[in-house]
Amino acid sequence: MSEQFSNEPLLDMYIFETTQLIGQLEECILSNEKSSCYTQSAINEIFRIMHTIKGSSAMMMFENISSLAHSIEDLFYFMREENPQNIDCAALSDLILEGIDFVKVEIEKIKSGDAADGEASALIDSIKVFLSILKRSNASTALTEDKEQSSIKKQQYYISSEKVKTSAMKNAFKAVICFEEGCEMENIRAYSIIHNLKGLSDEVFYIPEDIIDNDESVDVIRREGFKVILKTDSSYERVHEFFMQTVFLKDLELTQLDNDDELKQLSRVRQAATDQISKSQSSHKQDKEDKGTENKGLDSKDTQTVSTQQSIISVSVTKLDKLMDLVGEMVIAEAMVIQNPDLKGLELDNFQKAARQLSKITSEMQDTVMSIRMVPLSATFHKMHRIVRDMCKKLGKEVQLEIMGEETEVDKNIIEHISDPLMHLVRNALDHGIEPPEDREAKGKPQAGIIILEAKNAGGDVLIIIKDDGKGLNKEKILKKAKENGLLHKSEGNMTDKEVFNLIFLPGFSTKDSVSEFSGRGVGMDVVTKNIETVGGSVSVDSVSEKGTIITLKIPLTLAIIDGMNIKVGNSRYTIPTISIRESFRPKESDIITDPDGNEMIMVRGKCYPILRLHEHFGVKTDITEFMKGILIMAEVEDKALCIFADELLGQQQVVVKALPSYIRDSKKISGLAGCTLLGDGSISLILDISRLASLKKVSI
């Protein structure tokens, strides 16, 4: 799916495709680095990618990116054609990765509307040097091959004029053709003329002669024009018409020749040259065949990389957002029709049947639109390979990254918020968690550490788990640092291990003594938490000393539409996400317990739940203040639970979540609201944030 970075669709497409290709390239490099070296298919893929990027960057006038791509393309062209044996794969990979990073940076500049002014000349020089070293160390075979190739080609060219005798055609013409400036490849344009002339003429001579191989012929043609002498039975008009069909023709000088003299002379020259070359023909042909079979042998060793081609189209995210909005409006409109007050009390069997059908279709449409916005986590997860590789190199550690459940899908909007936190957590695991190989060996662990990235579905959420087998979190250190920074709100003895570990998510927290390049500035973890909470998710951590650490990110599948239970408190309406509701019941006054601080609680099947009086919390006037007259709804999120006291249940409904308007969010901080929505009768309902409300009422046991 393409995002809009500018108002130019061409630029957007360039950014999108180049980003995609660079990603593919990086993956290719990383996977080939691990195995022996570059397979034939990898070389082909890299060549093609660089060729494409060279072309599109040149079109968009990003000369630095184009030149860099060109130099890498040349390098891989050599590798593809000559199949050199002595390649310093590690150095090659580093060079390409440097190139990849350069392009990434330039693309970011382009995205932000800045100039792509990076200097690639140093890197290009390094690549050229690498190529020339490669050429030299594989020198002897390459040079002789070139010579043979060109002489073979020369023969084909001479032999292509079948008749050696002079033609019997009546008319002889001489044409001088000048091409327009800047049309490029004039020698090939000249070749095109000669090729097409076959229908008209059976004897053709032209100057410059070596238009196929010799690039200098281009200069000759530009300076003096392309000269053709031909014999034909056609008239002057017909020959003129033929030459006028030449693309990018600037000037044509066509003269009919009176006699054959010039032609005869040229014919004799050609005959002599043909005789000389045909002698060496047979031996060269043999060599070429031998090389052909050699190359084939190498290819068969490659594992076939099959590309599964799905039918995919590119859609702008703005269009999808609009579609989502419309579907949301449709859900509300549908509710307004079906729950219309005008229909109250009427017996409407047929209508109800039709309404049910409408509901069914609306709901299916919703699911489909939602699924369109869903994107697998694979791309995000795969980005981590590069980070692990770079950090391992820099820190001298050995780590293997395992990815599970990458096909798990998440809303496109949410993916952007996951990438950075994930990167930080992986970096942390590598920096703080995994020990250096010597330490690991001393502890009896395998030298290579493991980091597992796993994604899976759990109800209405997606769980992303980052697990490492490093040294784990140090409880004492954490408590000490928390105390130092005044972050301890509870007494030490009262905290569970998990609560201690979760202190690391507080702002300003870091137990790393020195600030490394990658982490330890104390701004990482709380940024992670903030990013995740922005999308309505949560972070938690657990750890076992010397065994490792597990960090779990819980992220909602989508923010847009939820199943909700509508409730009434006085004249106000609220909605509770159905997924959080365990049960609802009318309590007996005797079940209610009040503690010395005035907090009300209720015992249900041996467990104690705090009670939240909605009318008190939101300051809403209602007649129903006695428990027996209203209803208690037990709601649970993760390990937090509470009972919400409201007037009555209004009914279940699919509800479109709209964010609270910024005006309200900025002017008055109301805790416990996740958003708002429009009900079927047109009234507004506030959606409760159960997690937040439960935290407020957390019972200290």
Partner 1 sequence: MKRVLVVDDAAFMRLAIKTILNKNGFEVVGEAENGAVAIKKYSELRPDIVTMDITMPEVSGMEALKSIRVLDPKAKIIMVSAMGQEGMVREAIMFGAKSFIIKPFKDDHVIQTINKILSI
**Angle, in degrees to the nearest 10, between helices 63-82 and 139-159:** 90
Q: Which one of 143, 185, 593, 664 is in contact with partner 1 (CB under 8 A)?
A: 185
Q: Measured from the CB atom, is 32 or 56 closer to partner 1?
A: 56
**17 in contact with partner 1 (CB under 8 A):** yes
Q: At closest approach, how far in Å is the CB of 58 from partner 1?
A: 4
Site residues for partner 1, 514-573, by CB under 8 A, read none
Label the pairing between strands 581-585 and 461-468: unpaired
Q: At closest approach, how far in Å is the CB of 137 from partner 1?
A: 24
Q: At closest approach, how far in Å is the CB of 275 from partner 1?
A: 25
**240 in contact with partner 1 (CB under 8 A):** no
Q: Which amino acid is at 593?
A: I
Contact 641, 694 (CB under 8 A): yes
**52 in contact with partner 1 (CB under 8 A):** yes
> Contact region for partner 1 (CB under 8 A) — 242-250, 503-511, 561-569, 623-631?
242-250
Q: At closest approach, how far in Å is the CB of 393 from partner 1?
A: 32
Q: Which one of 247, 348, 515, 664 is in contact with partner 1 (CB under 8 A)?
A: 247
* CA-wise closest residue to 27 among 42, 40, 16: 42
**4 in contact with partner 1 (CB under 8 A):** no
Evaluated on CA atoms 241, 247, 253, 254, the torsion sign reads negative
Instruction: Provide the residue count of the chain.
Output: 701
**159 in contact with partner 1 (CB under 8 A):** no
Contact 415, 377 (CB under 8 A): yes
**55 in contact with partner 1 (CB under 8 A):** yes
327 token code pair: 């579907």
Q: Which one of 32, 39, 56, 380 is in contact with partner 1 (CB under 8 A)?
A: 56
Q: At closest approach, how far in Å is the CB of 672 from partner 1?
A: 47
Q: At closest approach, how far in Å is the CB of 62 from partner 1?
A: 10
CA torsion 570-573-578-583 (nearest 10°) is 0
Q: Measured from the CB atom, is 10 or 159 closer to partner 1?
A: 10
* CA-wise closest residue to 197 among 166, 170, 175: 175
Q: Under 8 Å CB-to-CB from 222, ≥6 apart: which residues?
A: 179, 186
Q: Under 8 Å CB-to-CB from 478, ≥6 apart: which residues?
A: 500, 501, 503, 504, 511
The rounded distance, in Å, linking the Cα atoms of 624 and 618 is: 14
**216 in contact with partner 1 (CB under 8 A):** no
Q: Measured from the CB atom, is 188 or 269 closer to partner 1?
A: 188
Q: Which one of 37, 51, 154, 599 is in contact with partner 1 (CB under 8 A)?
A: 51
Beta strands in 122-170 (DSSP E): none
504 token code pair: 């690391």
The rounded distance, in Å, linking the Cα atoms of 60 and 228 is: 38
Q: Which one of 13, 337, 365, 379 is in contact with partner 1 (CB under 8 A)?
A: 13
Q: Which one of 3, 4, 6, 9 is in contact with partner 1 (CB under 8 A)?
A: 9
The rounded distance, in Å, linking the Cα atoms of 171 and 153 is: 31
> Contact region for partner 1 (CB under 8 A) — 50-58, 163-171, 230-238, 613-621?
50-58
The rounded distance, in Å, linking the Cα atoms of 553 and 530 is: 12
> Contact region for partner 1 (CB under 8 A) — 26-34, 45-53, 108-116, 373-381?
45-53
Site residues for partner 1, 268-327, by CB under 8 A, read 314
Q: Which one of 18, 366, 558, 654 is in contact with partner 1 (CB under 8 A)?
A: 18
**Beta carbons within 10 angstroms of residue 592's beta carbon:** 16
> Contact region for partner 1 (CB under 8 A) — 188-196, 546-554, 566-574, 587-595?
188-196
Helices (H), 160-280: 186-197, 216-224, 236-244, 261-278
Q: At closest approach, how far in Å is the CB of 664 from partner 1?
A: 43
Label the pairing between strands 538-544 and 449-458: unpaired
The rounded distance, in Å, linking the Cα atoms of 381 and 455 is: 9
- The binding site for partner 1 (CB under 8 A) comprises 9-10, 13-14, 16-18, 48, 51-52, 54-56, 58-59, 183-185, 187-188, 191-192, 195, 212, 215, 245, 247-248, 314
